[in-house]
A and B are shown apart, each in its own frame.
Chain A
Amino acid sequence: MPSAKTLLVVIPAMPLLAAALTAVLGPRLLRTRSHWPTVLGVAFSFAASLLLLFQVHQQVRAEKNATFPSVTLWQWVDVDSSRLAAARTAALVESTAEAGAPPAAKQGTFSINVALQADPLTCVMLAVVTCISLLVAIYSIGYMRGDRGYWRFFSYIPLFVFSMTMLVSASNFLLLYVFWELVGLCSYLLIGFWYQRPAAAAAGKKAFLVNRIGDFGFALGVFLLWTTYGTLNYEDLFGPHHLPYAREALGTAICLLLLAGACGKSAQFPLHVWLPDAMEGPSPVSALIHAATMVTAGVYLVARCLPMFREAPGVLHVVAIIGGGTALLGAIIAVTQTDLKRILAYSTISHLGYMFLALGTGTLLGAVAGMFHLVTHAFFKSLLFLAAGSVMHAMGGVIDIRRFSGLRRRMPITHWTFLFGGLSMAGVIPFAGFFSKDAILLSLAECSGGLIYQTLYWTTFGGIVLIVLYTFRPYFIAFFGPEKIPKEAGDHAHESPRVMTWTLVILAFVAFSVGMVLEWNHVLSDFLAATPSWTTLPLPPAPEVLAKEHLAIALQSSAAVLITLACTAALYLGTRRVIVARLTGLLKLVGIYQLSFGKFFFDQIYWLFIILPAEGFAALCAWADNHVIDGLVNLCGAVPRWFGAALRPLQGGLIQFYALSMAIGLLIMLFLLLL
């Protein structure tokens, strides 16, 4: 059995190798076989991830405070940046200690290793990422067949898997930041995969730039971490003997800045605007990057830094409120959209909000619930996206749910798998979403944070109703009713090829069962609780108390879900469209409908208040550069010329004038001598 260290290196190395192979051999040699390196490489790293998970799990079960495997590849930078005399450092330490900040005395060498580590949190992320990547890669064989950029697609995908696995197994903030940006690059490349479409190219750029704004915060956060703690290693910051955290404004600032990065990557309010546009990318990309893995990087970051967030006053409330608010916002928008993939995108935003919300409780229960939801969401949401992709594949690229209906007979497998995904997302017992959603509700109910968490609990509860509505509205419209197929699909609209449907079936099975498996005997929560950085989190109450509460919540939420499901079915099945129209009219009167349909006009607001002023200012600067600054320069150049022009008449070439001036000069000199 290979050692954990080897596995840790193999997991990212195989996809990287696959990416390089495909990029080099793809265009000439592999062509339509370009998927083989990717599928094999990712399969290998999935197997390695499972092995690693198994090993670390054994370790956790064997000893209480296990030291988890870590491996250093090479030293990236090593600069001795100490500048201060010892006395000054001492004074600095003294003064910062008064302000409640940790000692900055360690600030000696800026030494960054390319080092990987595997604690339970990382292992879970690795397993999810590689599993979904593998399934999506297999699905893409069918989906991308015949595309001009087939090899290009299959060199970007393993590049992404490499970056994502490195991101979750990085052991310091710099490495995290590096791969944080690299997954952003892969996202940019894959959103703009069909770059000839202006919308796709613009969406890619938008995603990159909005993420850059988040990363602006993230980078500031990392810099402040360095200036405050003098280290960027997780070991020093979150390990068992971590440095004392900065508490005052500085601590809050660091956490909020890191949160800004997380909000950008995980599409949380107010940086959520890029995710719906990112649906311009191919559907497998939406499933892999923009639903299951990359967008959860923000959740991972918050989960990683949770102890630090706890110590900084007010930060957890911000996390919870952003999460809860985004969850509601996404759900409200999703209800009225007509583009199937955009509905799913807004639901992703909403579900990521739930993960933030759970982490925002700051308890072990909440942290585990957030990660649990991350896992189940990854499976059911990628299933839904892939099923939507299958629909899109058959409909000739049309994804507007108003233009097709009654597909369940033409595409039975897609229909059934979509239904499984929908039931799981809606949280119907015993599908996976049910368990993770209840875990979040439970963690909120158990959180003793006061009124804010109470409010958020009920908001979440209300959100559940919306989830059911926005999941099953498109389901009923698309798969039921009279058969209607857009003309783009031609007359051969049919079920997708077997390589796609089989992946859907596998995912459907996982989306059905993963909740039960992980909830069984609290496997996941016990495992995650061993994460070194989480050992300081407040523990949940005794299991007996918890079980009672859990049952009550499960009953309440299940009732809500089933009633809403019945109502939705009643509204959208059959000929009761009149009632829908009436309801819509009512909502339009209030104005909610327009807000929801217009996505709360965030794009327009940003255009008006950020892009337009910035571009105007840029134009002004360009004008000033041309006219004011360069004008001044030209003025400086012109002064000698004017001076010359003023003196030029003296040299007229007229002999008489020279003689006259000579005479006058002589006279003046004589006069001066005589004086």
Chain B
Amino acid sequence: MSILLLTSIFLPLAGAILLPARRERARGVALLTALLTLALAVVLVGCYPGGTAPFAKTDYTWLAGSGVPLDVRFSVALDGLSIWLYALTALLTVVAVLISWEAIAEQAPLFYRLLLILETGMLGVFTAQDLFLFYVFFEFTLIPLFFLIGIWGSEERRYAAMKFFLFTLAGSMLTFLGLLAIMLWDFYHPIGTPAPWKMTFSIPELTTRYAARPMDPAMQMWIFLALFVGFAVKVPLVPLHTWLPLAHVQAPAAGSIDLAGVLLKIGAYGFARFSIPLLPAAAAAAMPWILILSVAGILYGALVALAQSDIKKLIAYSSVSHMGFCMAGLFSANRLGIEGGTLQLLSHGLATGGLFALVGMIYERYHTRKIADLGGLARRLPVLGFFMAVMTLSSIGLPGTSGFVGEFLILIGLFQRGWAETLPPDALLRTLSVLAVLGVVLGAWYMLWLYQRVFFGPVREPQGQSHREGDSPIFPDHASMVPEKSGQSPQPPVRDLNLREILALAPLAVLIIWIGVYPRFFLDRLAPTMNQLTAGMRQAETRLERTKDEIRMTKECRISKCRMPEDSTDPRFPPPRPFRHSSFDILSSFGFRPLSFAKPQAAFSPLIPHPSSP
């Protein structure tokens, strides 16, 4: 199995290097490579046994000096969280290659090379089991996409590419510092006898060690914030989202698919992989804040989407809204919400990836993305209309599609958390859970509005709608586009989807329905891993709640001068440690804490070799 995984990660890279220079051959080889990768991914998903053990693990020493305690490993594996995102990447790359088949005319070999390199990067991000390797792949995804947007984008492509690059890079610098801090803190706080004298970058090892010996909460909060910046930009959480609509609108369709389908997931993946398991107390403390941002994103994204006139921009803002759901689920500190959030990541990748592919197909035919320029396409392009309907319905969370399962689980998790599990009614959580449901109504509003305007009504299409080979990706002049009645068009009518396009969309539609009808297949395989990853946060969260309860009860008792109730002696929940902060006064908590890695009991200084080493 491990050889399959390793092959599948580097197959696209090999394909990219060996890609022939002629367009026709290049795309054929690119498709073949992507399909082979997908086949490997399907085999791996089929063989995935579930549980929490890493699957198909490969582990080599990579950077390890003899004198320095560095221990960077080349280590990749799959678990319940990564396997779905890994498979999604493999699938969406095939879709991306298929829909670029005709659309990309200029420098096609280079385009497919970048696309395949991007695939390797994305597959690597989700499978890396080593902090260093993760970061390498994490940054590695940026560069191909930068070029994809910058070269094959629309008219403002350079600006968009630059903004995308700088925004993400700036965020990920801080993330890098955070990841380093995680590794270093572990190095300077060894456990076990004799303490292993090495700087381990291994994510599973760090996870188990941090579970056994958590960082002190203030330190956690600092590192959490550092990681947060980079991951929140990627997701994107609301005030940090402005690169996304721009990048989506300017990117070629294939770029949009990868961007929405996979790259946004890296942010959420980062939270689930690092922030939550490694820094559980901070994650628990930050929970209300992240929930506020997520729900704000749900509503704000939906409202802004409602006011858009460009199809791609509308879908881009809908992504902001949907990713808000994912984050709300992950940070609901409830298993229903967490599993729903993870499933929603997958569902959003399928539905929004499909929507961007469809918009690309519309653009290829009409060279416009303006909603006002189009109408009645269901009559003209019935098959496209059908696929659009499936993706739209999944996007608005109609039961029977994947969108429903994700959203429903997230919302019911939020409700359970806000209404059933807080002893004093937590007004904030309750309000947030209700507002999140409102996002579902708004979602239906803007998506159905889009569908009605573009696909229903009398046929309305811009002039020059026929497909032009070798057209430059520059926008055609809008002034020349006069809406016209159907049947009067001098050009031959626009053709409906061909087999290639149907084959690109059909797997997405099938998966959407599959997840909607039988989500257990997916939930059962992701549940153990997610449960393990979030166990720390959920415990910390419960403890936090208990502290709050006790503070409240103490206050009440003081007022009524009654006897303090005796603490329950539940072995699973030891009496809470004195927390310096509750979730609402984070700022005060780390303002007074000196930021230092060294602890007084550490008997060695960083530059002197460890006594146990020769």
Contacts and interface: CB of A to CB of B under 8 A. Distances in A.
Nearest to B337: A81
B185 interface: no
B308 to A, nearest CB: 7
A630 interface: yes
B48 to A, nearest CB: 18
A408 interface: no
Given A83-B538, A195-B378, A216-B438, A177 B399 contact: yes
Contact of B336 (A81, A104, A182, A637): A81
A573 interface: no
Contacts of B452: 192, 201-202, 204-205
A38 to B, nearest CB: 19
Contacts of A78: 520, 523-524
B164 to A, nearest CB: 12
B463 interface: no
Contacts of B376: 195-196
Interface string B207-241: 00000000000000000000000000000000101
A182 B339 CA distance: 24
Contact of B420 (A200, A228, A615, A622): A228
A520 interface: no
B527 interface: yes
A177 B437 CA distance: 14
A387 B307 CA distance: 43
A196 B448 contact: no
Interface string B496-525: 000000000000000000000011100110
Contact of B416 (A107, A177, A200, A617): A107
Contacts of A174: 408
Nearest to A27: B382
B568 A192 contact: no
Given A83-B333, A179-B399, A226-B416, A77 B409 contact: yes
A669 interface: no
B27 interface: no
Contacts of B399: 177-179, 181-182
Interface in A156-187: 174, 177-179, 181-182, 185
A645 interface: no
Q: Please report whether the interface of chain B is mostly helix, strand, loop or mixed according to DSSP.
A: helix
Nearest to B162: A637
A110 B572 CA distance: 22
A216 B437 contact: yes
Contacts of A87: 568, 570, 573
B527 A79 contact: yes
Contact of B242 (A77, A79, A630): A630
A213 interface: yes
Interface string A198-219: 1011101100110011001001
B57 interface: no
B336 A79 contact: yes
B372 interface: no
Nearest to B453: A201
A195 B306 contact: no
Interface string B353-392: 0000000000000000000000010110000000000000
Interface residues on B, range: 35 or more
Interface stretch (B74-82, B262-270, B454-462, B554-562): B454-462
B197 interface: no
Interface residues on A, range: 35 or more
A227 interface: yes
Nearest to A87: B568
Interface string B85-112: 0000000000000000000000000000
A668 B223 CA distance: 41
Q: Of B166, B239, B336, B433, which is in contact with the most chain A CB atoms at under 10 Å from its CB? A: B336
B423 A110 contact: no
Contact of B421 (A84, A110, A204): A84
A204 B392 CA distance: 15
A71 interface: no
Contacts of B573: 85, 87
Given A88-B546, A213-B441, A198 B420 contact: no
B245 to A, nearest CB: 8
Contacts of A656: none
A104 B379 contact: no
A228 B336 CA distance: 16
Nearest to B524: A78
Interface string A87-115: 11001100100000000100100100000
B525 to A, nearest CB: 13
Contacts of B405: 77
Contacts of B441: 209, 212-213, 216
A334 to B, nearest CB: 28
A81 B416 contact: yes
Interface in B287-329: 300, 303-304, 306-308
B233 to A, nearest CB: 10
A544 interface: no
B135 interface: no
B448 A104 contact: no
A85 B434 contact: no
Q: Please report whether the interface of chain A is mostly helix, strand, loop or mixed according to DSSP.
A: helix
Nearest to A174: B408
B572 A85 contact: yes
A618 interface: yes
B321 to A, nearest CB: 12
Given A74-B518, A110-B336, A220 B434 contact: yes
A205 B416 contact: no
B172 to A, nearest CB: 16
B419 to A, nearest CB: 4
B413 interface: yes
A63 interface: no
Contact of A86 (B408, B416, B570): B570
Nearest to B444: A212
Contacts of A491: none
A492 to B, nearest CB: 27
A448 B456 CA distance: 52
B416 A227 contact: yes
Given A74-B518, A79-B527, A617-B303, A219 B542 contact: no
B248 to A, nearest CB: 14
Contacts of A621: 300, 303-304, 307
Given A81-B336, A192-B456, A227 B415 contact: yes
A178 B404 contact: yes
Interface string A216-232: 10011001101110100
A67 B385 CA distance: 47
B449 A205 contact: yes
A586 B519 CA distance: 63
Given A74-B518, A85-B570, A618 B378 contact: no
Nearest to A110: B336
B456 A198 contact: yes
A263 to B, nearest CB: 15
A77 B523 contact: yes
A107 B404 contact: no
Given A182-B398, A226-B416, A621-B300, A198 B457 contact: yes
A75 interface: yes
B104 to A, nearest CB: 29
Contacts of B336: 79, 81, 110
B379 A92 contact: no
Nearest to A229: B420
B393 A223 contact: no
Interface in B159-199: 163, 166-167
A78 B433 CA distance: 22
A76 B520 contact: yes
A110 B337 CA distance: 11
20 contacts: A75-B520, A77-B520, A78-B524, A79-B523, A79-B527, A81-B334, A82-B335, A86-B570, A87-B568, A178-B404, A179-B399, A195-B457, A212-B441, A216-B441, A219-B411, A223-B433, A621-B307, A630-B242, A633-B242, A637-B166
Closest 3 CB pairs of A and B: A201-B456, A178-B399, A87-B568
